Amino acid sequence: MAKQLERNYVWECDYGDRSHLVPVLETLLDEQDASSLQMVNVMVNHNIYNLELFIVLSYDNPIEDHIINMKELFLDTGVRYRPDITYDELFKEMAHRRFNCMTLIDSELVELRFNSFFEYKEKKEVANIISMRPLGKKIPVFISHTSRNKPIIEDLIPFLNAANLPIWYDDINIDYGESIVGKVQEGIKDSGSVIFWITKEFLKSNWCQIEMESFLVRLAGKNDILILAVVHEDIEIEDLPVFIAGRKFLKVSETDTVEHIARKLIPPLYRYMESRNK
């Protein structure tokens, strides 16, 4: 009778979030002996610029449901099955000092051997000592403008940043290849306030009209957005949308400096955004 072919399963895990894998490995080694589960290898890359953790399992003659149970256990931990990576590929990287490899056999020794195999602590341990809070997650201010006004908007942003006001700005928040419509809609949804930079070009722009309508929907639905308008001096009040004309807006002229405009916008923005970010 021909020998059955081996079946390998490569799982990519998070080096910095790994302790929850110990019970899974203990369960597998308790319930699946070497006649079915013939190899459990842990492969770790301790290069601080490329920390990696892979677990490779090999089955020779698996007992019924062993593979199904194994997959369920690993998928429940949130690790990623990597059929695009083979054990041979990982093993060859050891020759280039990329991985250290450990074979687990005894379930009673899993916790001791697994935990002592890593040079760096888990994220949760480090987070108790050093802040790991994601940056750039404060609710931003959205600036709606035409492309003609980009230079003055880009001059305004550093003044707002200096007042601790993060900005959603299309040139920065949309990468090449990403959907412009999709990312702008995300920006509208995630922002806590909006500045409409209203010029004659703005009022003629279909894109700016769509942005205004989107924010108006938010205002009508949740009323959870601060709306500010900077209106150029050559715009008559009757030319403004009703929901803009009915609010106090900032009228500006060609002689107003960007710093002057920033001084007017920062106090109401700061008060509102601080209340939203608490």
What pTM does this model have?
0.67
C-alpha dist (Å) from residue 155 to 151, 158, 261: 6, 6, 11
**19-57 confidence digits (pLDDT tens):** 999 999 999 999 998 889 999 999 999 999 999 999 999
pLDDT at 188 over 60: yes
Query: Could you say which of 96, 127, 158 is where a domain stops?
Result: 127
Least confident of 85-99, 162-176, 229-243: 162-176
Average pLDDT estimate for 195-223: 89
Percentage of the chain lying above the pLDDT 90 cut: 64
Instruction: Confirm whether 132 is domain-assigned.
Output: no
Structure confidence at residue 277 (pLDDT): 66
Instruction: Confirm whether 103 is domain-assigned.
Output: yes
Give me the phi and psi of 8, to 5 degrees please: -105, 145
Tokens of 219: 């205002």
**112-140 confidence digits (pLDDT tens):** 999 999 999 999 999 899 987 877 778 88
Question: Do 255 and 164 share a domain, yes or no?
Answer: yes
pLDDT at 179 over 80: no
Helix residue ranges per DSSP H, 146-257 = 150-162, 170-173, 180-190, 200-204, 206-221, 242-245
Say which residues have a Cβ less than 8 Å from residue 256's Cβ, sequence separation at least 6: none
Nearest to 114 by CA among 12, 10, 7, 24: 24
State the average pLDDT for the chain.
90
Query: Could you say which of 105, 127, 149 is where a domain stops?
Result: 127
Structure confidence at residue 1 (pLDDT): 47
Residue pair 234/200 in contact by the 8 Å Cβ criterion = yes
Highest-confidence segment of 12-21, 228-237, 247-256: 12-21
Q: Please report which confidence band the pLDDT of residue 278 belongs to, taking 50, 70 and 90 as the band edges.
A: low
Q: Please report which confidence band the pLDDT of residue 200 belongs to, taking 50, 70 and 90 as the band edges.
A: very high
pLDDT at 171 over 70: no
Structure confidence at residue 91 (pLDDT): 95
Structure confidence at residue 243 (pLDDT): 85
Count of domains forming the chain = 2
Question: Do 162 and 257 share a domain, yes or no?
Answer: yes
H helix and E strand count, the chain: 12, 10
Question: Do 203 and 266 share a domain, yes or no?
Answer: yes
Nearest to 74 by CA among 32, 124, 135, 130: 32
Domain region containing 79:
7-127
Instruction: Confirm whether 111 is domain-assigned.
Output: yes
Q: What is the CATH number of the domain that holds 194?
A: 3.40.50.10140
Question: Do 179 and 219 share a domain, yes or no?
Answer: yes
Instruction: Confirm whether 133 is domain-assigned.
Output: no
Instruction: Confirm whether 136 is domain-assigned.
Output: no
Question: Do 164 and 216 share a domain, yes or no?
Answer: yes
**236-270 confidence digits (pLDDT tens):** 988 898 888 888 999 999 899 999 999 999 999 98
Instruction: Confirm whether 269 is domain-assigned.
Output: yes
